[in-house]
Structure 1
Amino acid sequence: MREIFAGLPWWVKWVAVPVIALVVFGGVIASIVGFLIGLLFKVLVFVALVGGLIYIVRKFMAHSSSRSDW
């Protein structure tokens, strides 16, 4: 691999090749990043819903147990 880039200017190695790689694989990278962000959002929504459910159930159980003391 070094022999291929040996006679080329620095900008080909450090600018042109990464730009070509981003153009070719940019859609794949964007879809992976989008998938990860969507997954993170779904995990956060799940955690919020489970936390809210636990809060409501504990609040209801505390309210119903104090009513049975009467």
Structure 2
Amino acid sequence: MREIFGGMPWWVKWIAVPVIALVVFGTVIVSVLSVLIGLLFKVLIFVALVGGLIYVVRKFMSSSSSRSGW
């Protein structure tokens, strides 16, 4: 790889090649990122719903157990 870029100017290695890679693989990168962000969002929604369910059940159980003592 060093032989290929050895005689090239610095801007070819650091500007042109990354820009070409983004143009070629840009849609793939965007689709992978959107899938990961969507998955992260669904995981956060799941955690929030399970946490809310646990909170409601514990609140209900504590209030019903205090009534049964009477």
Superposed pair shares fold, TM > 0.5? yes
Q: Which amino acid aligns with 2:38?
A: G
Instruction: Find the counterpart in structure 2 of residue 34 from structure 1.
Output: 34
Displacement, 1:9?
1.2
Instruction: Find the counterpart in structure 2 of residue 48 from structure 1.
Output: 48
Aligned alpha-carbon RMSD (Å): 1.0
Identity of aligned residues (%): 80
Q: Return structure 1 stretches of 4+ with deviation > 3 angstroms.
A: none
Q: Which amino acid aligns with 1:69?
A: G
Specify the SS of the correspondent of 1:67.
helix
Specify the SS of the correspondent of 1:8.
coil
Displacement, 1:6?
1.8
Instruction: Find the counterpart in structure 1 of residue 24 from structure 2.
Output: 24
Displacement, 1:8?
1.5
- 2:36, 2:18 → 1: CA distance? 23
Q: Tell which deviates more after alignment, 14-23 or 25-34.
A: 25-34
Displacement, 1:32?
1.3
**TM-score of the superposed pair, with normalisation by structure 1:** 0.90
Q: Which amino acid aligns with 1:37?
A: I
Specify the SS of the correspondent of 1:7.
coil
